[in-house]
Amino acid sequence: MSETEVRRRKFRRFKSVTSDSDKEEAKPILKPELPDYNRSKTKKCHEERISLLTTGSEWENYSGFLNLLKVIVILANTRLFIDNLYNFGWQVHLIRPVVKMFLDPLNWTNLWVLVEIQIFAFMSLHIERLIARDIISVSTGKVCHVFNVALSLFAPIIQIVLAPSMPLPAFGVLIIAIVYFLKLWSYAHANRWYRDEAIRNSREQMRRRGSRRIRSLSVPSLREIDEEETKMVYPNNLTTSNLYYFLLCPSLCYEMQYPRTSNIRLDFLARRLLESVFLFWLIIAFVQQWIMPHLQETEERKHKSQIILLYEVLALAIPNSIIWLTSFILLFHSWLNFLAEFLMFADREFYRDWWNSQDTQYFWAAWNIPIHKWCVRHIYKPMLRSGFSKGFVGFSVFLFSAIFHEVIISVPLQRIRFYSALGMLMQVPMTPITKVVTKLCGPNYGNMLVWFQIIIGQPMGVLAYVTDWYLYT
């Protein structure tokens, strides 16, 4: 037998032992999305099918179109940026505004505002101490708290109005003053709850001991509580360190003790700080390069057609939205996480997925969690407990927010136009509208409507104030 014949027999034997499963595994795997054009269908390649873009196809994968939209947005904004550079040149100066701000004596008023709000914080602490020691009555203490908290807001407003400075520094200082106002409100409100709880505990203990003597504000059972827990019993929480931890921490709602982390992550802390500095300067650059040149053109055209003015305002909608999104990341992600890490504050829920909002009610509840918690804790629930209806209470919360939005913008610009307040109050009827759109057309259309009003509504109100300031200053 020749060598060639031996090889042929071995090859036949090898083919005979090859299993059918091995043959199936050797076949190429076809994608399920495409028709199966195998040999049995070479002469018949058509069957009953519908197009993927038809409503009844139940096809859900449109990620390619989403990527196309991303590319279009990038190209469109690149074109806007190039047109801006071509028309106005390079306008970014990061050091000059800071120097100008410090050289203007009127801006020094803003520094005094930052100092004086510390006085109101100490006043709040000492009012509560006087109540706890029975030096002043509870009713007198309430009046003092109301006067002190109100003065912590109105004093900075009066100073900024009487000594007008650059709007941007006044805007920042006024936001800090409003944050202190909300914190001091919460401090007084929460300590009243702790004081009432301490009185109830003291009365219960005296009743168990059969004594008629009730120490209304004394700490109950100090011998039975360890030292750390004693610090968290009213009035032992009324210390300067406890107050200033609350004033510095990223929360508007006062509690005796917050959840804490075990250590400080220095790399995380450094990243958040660098992000905050970079995004702050980036916002200034965007304002100088995109916003101010358009406003200067608006000033030159203020005696021309109103349609041209409307075009200029609409041209600022995209840059303003980018600045708004950048400001959100700067404040709610970078800066608040930096403060939380530095103070070992463990509750980092500063926002939720507001970008997926299908109605305006969820948007306003999710995009600013500290404000939302404060409104629920100190306005919404107390008013419900007082017997007000949910509809009236919800409107009251929006009215409260509208007033402060108006104050934040009108006071630094030295004029009241009520654009921002009306924009906030319009959110009340927009809530059922967005819910109806979501119910009838689907969640995607509800989300698109929310995004549309973010881009056109709220930023347009801010731009209306700035344009008005530029036209009539």
- 289, two tokens: 């390069």
How many Å apart are CA 451 and CA 436, to the nearest integer? 16
CA torsion through residues 468, 470, 471, 472, sign: positive
3-state helix, strand, coil in the chain (%, to 5): 75, 0, 25
Q: List beta partners, residue 260.
A: 345
Q: Give whole-number Cα distances, 221 to 122, 192, 200, in Å.
A: 29, 20, 13
Among the listed residues 145, 294, 372, 405, the single catalytic one is: 405
Identify residue 58 by its one-letter amino acid code: E
How many residues comprise the chain?
Answer: 473
Query: Helices 390-413 & 138-162, crossing angle to 10 degrees?
Result: 40
Kind plus residue range of the DSSP H or E element containing 209: helix 167-209
- 43, two tokens: 């002469």
- 243, two tokens: 């107050």
Q: Are 109 and 163 spatial neighbours (Cβ–Cβ below 8 Å)?
A: yes
- 52, two tokens: 């993927």
How many Å apart are CA 149 and CA 183, to the nearest integer? 9
How many Å apart are CA 87 and CA 254, to the nearest integer? 51
How many Å apart are CA 156 and CA 427, to the nearest integer? 29
Does the active-site annotation cover 405? yes
**Main-chain dihedrals φ then ψ at residue 69, nearest 5 degrees:** -60, -35
Q: How many other C-beta atoms can be found within 10 angstroms of the C-beta atom of residue 292?
A: 15
Helices (H), 17-95: 20-26, 63-88
Q: Is 250 exposed, middle or buried (0-12, 13-18, 19+ CB in 10 A)?
A: buried
Q: List beta partners, residue 345.
A: 260
Q: Give whole-number Cα distances, 55 to 60, 67, 68, 389, in Å.
A: 10, 21, 21, 43
Query: Helices 266-286 & 317-328, crossing angle to 10 degrees?
Result: 160
Q: What Rg, from alpha-carbon coordinates, does the chain have?
A: 32
> Would you state the torsion angle of the CA atoms of residues 60, 62, 63, 65, taken in this order, to the nearest 10 degrees?
-170
Find, among 183, 186, 187, 168, the residue nearest to 408 by Cα.
168
Which positions are annotated as active-site residues? 405
